[in-house]
């Protein structure tokens, strides 16, 4: 495993990590969660990602139980949670001072931990002044309940606003973003955030490297039963797949599978390796519903070494979606 600094921060995260969304505390039982997390840990993963919203809190409960059961040393781990969707009441969601403090306390209780290493604002909250959120995150860190704070799916201007307020008010600035990044979703990481890597040392913990499994090639011949796209409540994924864009993407995955075959790897490994190759990606958060998937995905770093300029050009030709410079790009 390779360990990267989280942007300009001193903390080091494994280049590949494991997250709970959809799967742990929801799709699979605690025994499978245990096996997946152990497989990841044994491959060198130190970062496990979570959110108060995952499985309505069950994601944190099962991951916390596994960590307790294994007896892993807390200082060997980087644990995150994300605050935004904590319940149905008017003050159970968003990024107010109140919800950030109450949401963090509840998450720590579910995780059975005194602190998380990373805490994210899971989405921007247009109903709360950014200054209030920055002050609340500063307070959470000063109380020792988290070590670093960041954002998820905030645009570059919102991140810069938070950073500017923190600097002006002598508060702790955000250091990381958690955006979606995969072969089909490239604009933010490859274009929008470019100046943030240089100007504020932004680190990134990217999500859905397989576009929810699409880039593993498992949907090339339809939707296998038990897969994420077949789950109840995920019709939006199925609809997306059945649309024109989805069908185009499936055709691209079929062609990517040919490249994987030539390299002697799986399509999933190729897709994860491609994400990890981007120097602005601090860690690729993988997801897995079976320990065998973890074993397969964790070998992606070896595949990254095989991605020569020629191979990357072949991939680029298939994807045909290289982000264009922004009009005011500098
Ligand atoms: P992926 O795009 O990698 O999808 C993971 C899913 O794909 C697995 O659960 C599994 O689903 C399938 N899969 C994984 N490996 C293989 C394989 N080798 N072969 C075949 N199928 C495979 O990542 P996620 O969408 O799960 O996102 C990863 C993490 O990112 C989340 O757990 C979460 O921590 C974070 N995230 C953050 C978000 C945010 O807003 N900040 C949003 C979404 C995710 P199955 O077997 O069930 O088909």
The token duo for 209 is 């490297």
Residues 182 and 256: their CA atoms lie apart, in Å, by 13
Per-residue 3-state assignment (H helix, E strand, C coil) for the chain: CCEEECCCCCCEEECEEEECCCCECCCECHHHHHHHHHHHHHCCCCEEECCCCHHHHHHHHHHHHHHHHHCCCHHHCEEEEEECECCCCCCCECCCHHHHHHHHHHHHHHHCCCCEEEEEECCCCCCCCHHHHHHHHHHHHHCCCEEEEEECCCCHHHHHHHHHHHHHCCCCCCCEECCECECCECHHHHHHCHHHHHHHCCEEEEECCCHHHHHHCCCCCCCCCCCHHHCCCCHHHHHHHHCHHHHHHHHHHHHHHHHHHHHCCCHHHHHHHHHHCCCCCCEEEECCCCHHHHHHHHCHHHHHCCCCHHHHHHHHHHHCCCCCCCCCCC
The token duo for 214 is 């699409």
Residue 309 has, within 13 A of its CA and on its CB side, a CA count of 0
Name the catalytic one among 3, 24, 41, 54.
54
Q: Separation of 228 CA from ligand 1 center, angstroms?
A: 9
* Residue 326: pLDDT over 80: no
Protein residue whose Cα sits closest to atom 32 of ligand 1: 19
Q: Determine phi and psi for 248, rounding to 5 degrees.
A: -65, -40
Q: Is the CB of 133 under 6 A from ligand 1?
A: no
pLDDT at 324: 80
Nearest atom (ligand 1) to Cα of 213: 7
- 80, 176, 189, 207: which to mutate for ligand 1, most atoms within 8 A of CB? 207
Q: Separation of 284 CA from ligand 1 center, angstroms?
A: 11
* Residue 330: pLDDT over 70: no
* Residue 327: pLDDT over 70: no
Residues 271 and 300: their CA atoms lie apart, in Å, by 8
Protein residue whose Cα sits closest to atom 16 of ligand 1: 293
- CB neighbours of 243 closer than 8 A, spacing ≥ 6? none
Across all residues in the chain, what is the average pLDDT? Answer: 97
Q: Tokens 């307070």 belong to which residue?
A: 139
Residues 38 and 40: their CA atoms lie apart, in Å, by 5
* Residue 38: pLDDT over 80: yes
* Residue 150: pLDDT over 80: yes
Q: Is the CB of 218 under 6 A from ligand 1?
A: yes
Q: What percent of the chain has pLDDT over 70?
A: 98
pLDDT at 268: 98
Average pLDDT for 19-45: 97
Q: What percent of the chain has pLDDT over 90?
A: 98
pLDDT digits (tens, 9 = 90+) for 225-268: 999 999 999 999 999 999 999 999 999 999 999 999 999 999 99
> Quick one: which of 180, 172, 171 has its CA closest to 204?
180
Confidence of residue 79 (pLDDT cuts 50, 70, 90): very high
Q: Separation of 184 CA from ligand 1 center, angstroms?
A: 14
Q: Is the CB of 285 under 6 A from ligand 1?
A: yes
Decide if 54 is catalytic: yes
Average pLDDT for 200-213: 98
Q: Is the CB of 267 under 6 A from ligand 1?
A: no
Nearest atom (ligand 1) to Cα of 269: 18
* Residue 17: pLDDT over 90: yes
- 13, 53, 213: which to mutate for ligand 1, most atoms within 8 A of CB? 213
Q: Is the CB of 213 under 6 A from ligand 1?
A: yes
Residues 219 and 177: their CA atoms lie apart, in Å, by 29
Question: Could you give all domains of the chain from N- to C-terminal order, each with its CATH number?
Answer: 3-213+269-305 (3.20.20.100)
Confidence of residue 138 (pLDDT cuts 50, 70, 90): very high
pLDDT at 325: 73
């Amino acid at each position: 495993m390779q360990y990267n600094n989280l942007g300009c921060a001193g903390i080091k995260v494994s280049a590949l990590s494991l997250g709970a969304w959809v799967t742990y505390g929801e799709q699979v039982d605690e025994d499978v969660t245990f096996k997946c997390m152990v497989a990841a840990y044994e491959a060198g993963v130190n970062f496990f990602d979570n959110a108060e919203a995952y499985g309505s809190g069950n994601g944190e409960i099962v991951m916390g139980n596994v960590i307790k059961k294994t007896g892993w040393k807390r200082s060997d781990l980087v644990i995150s949670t994300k605050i935004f969707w904590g319940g149905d009441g008017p003050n159970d969601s968003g990024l107010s001072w109140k919800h950030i403090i109450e949401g963090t306390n509840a998450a720590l209780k579910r995780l059975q931990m005194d602190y998380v290493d990373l805490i994210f604002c899971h989405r921007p909250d247009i109903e709360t002044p950014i200054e209030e959120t920055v002050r609340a995150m500063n307070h959470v860190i000063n109380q020792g309940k988290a070590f670093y704070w960041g954002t998820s799916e905030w645009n570059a201007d919102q991140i810069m606003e938070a950073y500017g307020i923190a600097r002006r008010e002598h508060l702790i600035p955000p250091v990381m973003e958690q955006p979606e990044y995969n072969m089909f979703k490239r604009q933010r990481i490859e274009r929008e955030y470019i100046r943030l890597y240089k100007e504020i040392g932004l680190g990134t913990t990217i999500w859905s490297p397989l576009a929810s499994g699409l880039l593993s090639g498992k949907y090339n011949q339809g939707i296998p039963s038990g897969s994420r796209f077949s789950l109840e409540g995920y019709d939006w994924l199925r609809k997306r797949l059945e649309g024109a864009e989805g069908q185009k993407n499936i055709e691209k995955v079929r062609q990517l599978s040919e490249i994987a075959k030539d390299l002697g790897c799986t399509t999933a490994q190729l897709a994860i390796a491609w994400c990890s190759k981007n120097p602005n990606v601090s860690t690729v958060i993988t997801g897995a519903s079976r320990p065998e998937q973890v074993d397969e995905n964790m070998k992606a770093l070896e595949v990254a070494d095989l991605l020569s300029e020629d191979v990357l050009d072949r991939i680029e030709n298939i994807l045909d979606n290289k982000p264009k410079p922004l009009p005011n790009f500098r």
